[in-house]
Amino acid sequence: MVALVTASSTLIWSLNVHLVKDLAEQNQSKKKSKIILNFSWGWTILLGMLALAFSYYNVGIASLILESYELAVVCMFVPLVQAAFSRGKEYPKLAAGLSMCFGGLGFFLCRFYEISYFPEVFSILLSWTGFMLGKSLSRHKIVPNEQDSEIRCSQ
């Protein structure tokens, strides 16, 4: 029990340190840094309480691990495949972001409506839809390169 409490408190402390480091800048006033510190402590307490509340929701560790990997796959598969096959082209952040959001939305819709036939395929297709929507919403401009012209996307 002591090991579990120590590990969880270390993880929460690490979360707090990363929040403070991400939010704070070196050239800030003392008043602003105190506000950020209080915000990070409040956020850390909230996340710790949420973790404690969800720890009583027992779904089984194996199914939880499988579902978390499935969520990561349906959210990250399309942006990673597009990045791997881009061949020097830069794709917009909006397309990758919408792809991840649509994939996550598809994952939760499959859980909510209990789609039993190939829910992962549905989520990945929804992720592709989000990527294509984000790609079409981005403004394209041609940036001349020394060797050849490539399509670059501006944000």
CA 21, distance to chain mean position in Å, is 19
* Residue ranges of domains in the chain: 2-55, 61-154
Q: Which residue has the tokens 């940036």?
A: 143
Residue 22 to residue 8: CA distance in whole angstroms = 21
How many helices and strands, by DSSP H and E, does the chain display?
5, 2
Q: Minimum mean pLDDT among 16-20, 43-47, 72-76: which range?
A: 16-20
* pLDDT tens readout for residues 78-116: 988 988 887 767 777 888 889 999 999 999 998 888 877
pTM above 0.75, yes or no: no
CA 59, distance to chain mean position in Å, is 23
Model confidence band, residue 12 (pLDDT cutoffs 50, 70, 90): confident
